[in-house]
Amino acid sequence: MATISQDLVPAPSLIQRAMAPEPEAWAVVVRLYSPLVYQWARNQGLLPAEASSLTQTVFQTVWQTLKDSPQNRPVTSFRAWLRTFVLRAARTMVMSGNLKPGMLLEKLLQENDGSAEGSAVHDQFTQEMFEQLTQRSLSLLQATVDATTWNAFWRIVVHGEPETTVAEALQLSTRAVRQAKYQVLFRLREFLSDY
């Protein structure tokens, strides 16, 4: 009979561990949030090379800020705090004269007027970013749990199979299958808790 790992001890959120600083947690944060930072930069009108450069700059600045000034840690969501760094870095790139202001400056100067259309676009963008973050989180998690645990989780949560069917197919107890589902969901929530 296959076994399920029992690593269910509550742990600090991924962001808290990264701010500790814990290098492995920081590496996961960078892998998870780099595409989001890059997309924010592109949405500000930066070209791909400029957005890549800004992404590196933002993560260097965030790391340095966390390392040097623990009191500057995010008081809101990490994502909102990170977005502030992106906007500041984009403004700095424009003001330095290294970029043509064009669309970027126009977007930076526009205020959200709160219109329903603007809100709908923002909500759709936020939802798309959350879905991408969830997909990256699942990919990273899959590599950290054994195949039986992942298979039980995936079949129950994604495919919607009954726990008893999955338990029988994997030659596990229904309790072990529930624990597998809980273990992966617990870790996924940990990854996404600061979103």
Share of the chain above pLDDT 90, in %: 15
Q: In which residue are the tokens 């989001």 written?
A: 36
Asked whether residue 138 is assigned to any structural domain, the reply reads yes
**pLDDT the model gives residue 161:** 84
**pLDDT the model gives residue 170:** 94
Asked whether residue 2 is assigned to any structural domain, the reply reads no
Asked whether residue 6 is assigned to any structural domain, the reply reads no
Helix/strand/coil for 161: coil
Residue 168, pLDDT > 50, answer yes
Asked whether residue 107 is assigned to any structural domain, the reply reads yes
Report the range of poorest mean pLDDT among 58-62, 90-94, 167-171, 184-188. 90-94
Residue 139, pLDDT > 50, answer yes
Asked whether residue 1 is assigned to any structural domain, the reply reads no
Asked whether residue 9 is assigned to any structural domain, the reply reads no
In the chain, the number of structural domains is 1
Q: pLDDT tens digits, residue range 32-57?
A: 899 989 988 887 777 788 888 899 99
Q: What is the mean pLDDT of the chain?
A: 74
Nearest-angstrom CA–CA distance, 72 and 155: 42
Residue 110, pLDDT > 70, answer no
Asked whether residue 3 is assigned to any structural domain, the reply reads no
Range of the domain at 128: 14-192
**pLDDT the model gives residue 134:** 79
102: exposed, middle or buried (Cβ count in 10 Å: 0-12, 13-18, 19+): exposed
Report the range of poorest mean pLDDT among 13-27, 140-154, 156-170. 13-27
Asked whether residue 65 is assigned to any structural domain, the reply reads yes
Q: Are 13 and 194 in contact (CB under 8 A)?
A: yes
39-63 burial: b if 16+ Cβ within 10 Å, else e: bbbbebbbeeebbbbbbebbbeebb
